[in-house]
Amino acid sequence: MVGRTVSHYRVLELLGSGGMGVVYRAEDTRLARQVALKFLPADLARDRHALDRFQREARAASALNHPHICTIHDIDQADGQPFIAMELLEGQTLKARLQGRPLPTAEVVDLGLQLADALEAAHAKGIIHRDIKPANVFITTRGTAKLLDFGLAKLAAEPRPGTSEAPTAAGDWVTGAGAALGTVGYMSPEQVRGEVLDARTDLFSLGVVLYEMATATAPFGGTTSGTVLSEILTKVPVPPVRLNPDVPADLERLVSKLLEKDRTLRYQSARDLRIDLEQLRRAVSSPAAARSEQASIVVLPFENLSPDPDNAFFADGLTEEIIADLSKIRTLRVISRTSAMVFKGVRKSAPAIAKELNVRHVLEGSVRRAGNNLRITAQLIDAATDAHLWAEKYTGVLDDVFEIQEKLSRTIVEALKVRLTPEEDRSLAARQVPDARAFERYLRAQQELYRMTPASLDRAGELTREAIAIVGPNALLYATLGHISFRLHDTGVRTDDATLQEAVAWSDRALELSPACGLAFLVKGQLAWKRGEMGAAIRLMRRAVELGAGSEALSWLSYFCFQAGGLDECRDAAERAMAADPLTFGPFAGAFAALVDGDLQLGLLRTRAVADVYGGVSASNVYLAFALLYAGQDDEATRTLSELAHSGGGILVDIGAALSAMIRRDRDATDRILAQNPGFLSLARADKELSWWLADGFAHLGDHDAALEWLGNAIDCGFCNHRFWSTVDPLLAPLRGDPRFPALMDKAREKQRAFEA
């Protein structure tokens, strides 16, 4: 076969062979790229079942476009021999990598995370792999895991025996009963028994692989296949720590859950597994492990038991105020409001939530408000034991809300045995909005602010002004108006300079009243960033962090440092944000920290996590689209951007339409959309972020001149992370050979030095 030309592929060398195929390195003469050709052996090509299985591998894998699944380019025949043209990978299989030695824990977790991400994507399309094993996992020279051989996969879309309809529900992601396909030693118990399978069979097999990576030993063994299959059905594997004392307890628990013989007790989805692996990754690779010993708590959204459902704002507001109180205590790690609110209305046990957020204690509560009367109940739970440390009931009238809030916060502090500094003690007694009626309007304004729609932002402004009319000049309320004005501008609802000037004026007035108002410094930092004053933006956001502006300030600080090239501080701020806010602002900051290190897959993982939490349509779609582009998933990126057409108008619609056309490499559509939206281009010229996106988009489109122009504009506006553009951003790779590109990077380097000075 070597030296022959098959279709439009010139075969160069034999790479290897196995029971289901012979693989060659070849050159695609049409596209001038090297590929791998997998041929079905001649004797099997005459076997209808083998041929069906071979073709099923191609169909299943070609339906998936994912960074951790080997890409299928083509399927064809040569002289009656079917073959698949696929991505050519450089590296070795996991089987070759193991060589009888356990892998470092960090590598086990990292590879497991990548494979869980791949399975999540496959299962979402109704595809079960059914043959997860080290020989089917390829590790590239850059450490990227690629899942191979979907030869045993079966599409959920295929009709079941005896029916003419394809299954549609998630519970129908199954394979037919009666055939135990797979590889002995990696099969699930239900696979051994020949039962109907679902996605959980892959999770069991992945558990076997993780066990083997961590211990260099198979969990189920024997001298015959019958012995191995019997152990799968009956044996509890030796705890990994006995075979490798370096295996952490959390990894051991995770693997044990994957290897549950009863699949109802196993991980129920690859997504749940991915979340646990991400938390474990942080624990084994960062100072987070040390932080886990710190006193830590999540305040879950208080349940609204009021007769009037409109009083939900009051329950949410009380939750937020208790979080704000506790967040002032430096020795206590408090999960931020944004991550806590994800669990509103979610029926999960306190230990499960605590595990997901990596905290020891959980506060649950309820609020009943009838007219002017209040009844608040709360209970503190030690998640490690699921024991209730205390439960209290507080009653009073609306004017008593401040006293109840303070009493509740102090009771929590005492129960956790946290010692307060004199400053922290005073802060718990402070009343930032001292009038109950104004406080009520402030809480309503916060609820509207977090909805982030044009109408809700306007309503938040109205309510805040009503609160000011009641209490008079107030630093927190002024800073809130500044925050609302910035968000109106940043989300494209109002793009005029007057809106930014409003944000400046309100934040200045807040600082005149209270020079230690953290929210005002956060707004000032955002405004400096908008003006391209990156050095000032970073200094102001650092101050916001010092004054307790929380995970939002940490996330912005990390993003500023990413753009300005302050890579160490970018990582540090992201790590702190992820500890305080594991589900929203934290992963967002962590995504940019991953890009700093060139880890495009981790960046995608974290960006997807943020988008999953927010749901719906928002600016997170744009960030997710670029993360998908960086990972080579153009089609999904286009779909993600197309959703912005339903965002209710404004700049997000323009961004989504323009970038979608660029990704599709549709030049006519790109020119038409940009010509129809001159205001968008005018805004982009003053915005480093939009300029960066357009530079990437034009580079992907193939217009080097426009890409370089927008890249230069981004640098002029203050984006000067030359390392990211020179070595990481894959969309800019075509520009790096252009003689104008190094000159732009020199310009960015000089601008970064100016910021550092």
Given a contact cutoff of 8 angstroms between Cβ atoms, the answer to whether 358 and 413 are in contact is no
Exposed e or buried b for every residue in 166-199, given b needs 16+ CB within 10 A?
A: ebeeeeebbbeeeebbbbbbbbbbbbbeebebbb
By CB neighbour count within 10 A (0-12 exposed, 13-18 middle, 19+ buried), where does 266 fall? buried
Pick from 608, 737, 658: nearest CA to 117: 608
Q: What is the SS3 assignment for 672?
A: helix
What is d(CA 710, CA 707) in angstroms, rounded to the nearest whole number? 5
> For residue 68, how far is the Cα from the chain centroid?
16
Count, in order, helices (H) and strands (E) of the chain: 35, 17
Given a contact cutoff of 8 angstroms between Cβ atoms, the answer to whether 171 and 198 are in contact is yes
Q: Tell me the catalytic residues.
A: 131
What is d(CA 570, CA 554) in angstroms, rounded to the nearest whole number? 9
Residue reference for tokens 């189920």: 220
Pick from 496, 556, 570: nearest CA to 524: 556
What is the spatial order of strands in the sheet that 81-87 belongs to? 5-6, 9-18, 21-28, 33-39, 81-87, 72-78
Phi/psi of residue 248, nearest 5 degrees: -70, 155
User: Can you read off the two tokens belonging to residue 488?
Assistant: 């109106």
DSSP H helices in 531-686: 534-546, 550-564, 567-580, 585-596, 600-614, 620-630, 634-642, 651-663, 667-676, 678-684
> For residue 429, how far is the Cα from the chain centroid?
37
Strand partners, 82: 77
The bridge status of strand 303-304 relative to strand 361-370 is parallel
Compute the 3-state secondary structure of the chain and give helix, strand, coil in percent, each to the nearest 5: 55, 15, 30
- H or E stretch including 106? helix 105-124
Pick from 143, 288, 134, 325: nearest CA to 211: 134
What is d(CA 119, CA 56) in angstroms, rounded to the nearest whole number? 17
By CB neighbour count within 10 A (0-12 exposed, 13-18 middle, 19+ buried), where does 99 fall? exposed
The Cβ-side half-sphere exposure at 187, using a 13 Å CA radius, reads 25
What is d(CA 69, CA 440) in angstroms, rounded to the nearest whole number? 52
Q: What is the DSSP string of 430-445?
A: --SS-SHHHHHHHHHH
What is d(CA 72, CA 127) in angstroms, rounded to the nearest whole number? 15
What is d(CA 281, CA 288) in angstroms, rounded to the nearest whole number? 10
User: Can you read off the two tokens belonging to residue 149?
Assistant: 């051989």
The bridge status of strand 81-87 relative to strand 127-128 is unpaired
Given a contact cutoff of 8 angstroms between Cβ atoms, the answer to whether 616 and 641 are in contact is no
SS (H, E, C) 721-747: CHHHHHHHCHHHHHHCCCCHHHHHHHH
Q: What is the SS3 assignment for 22?
A: strand
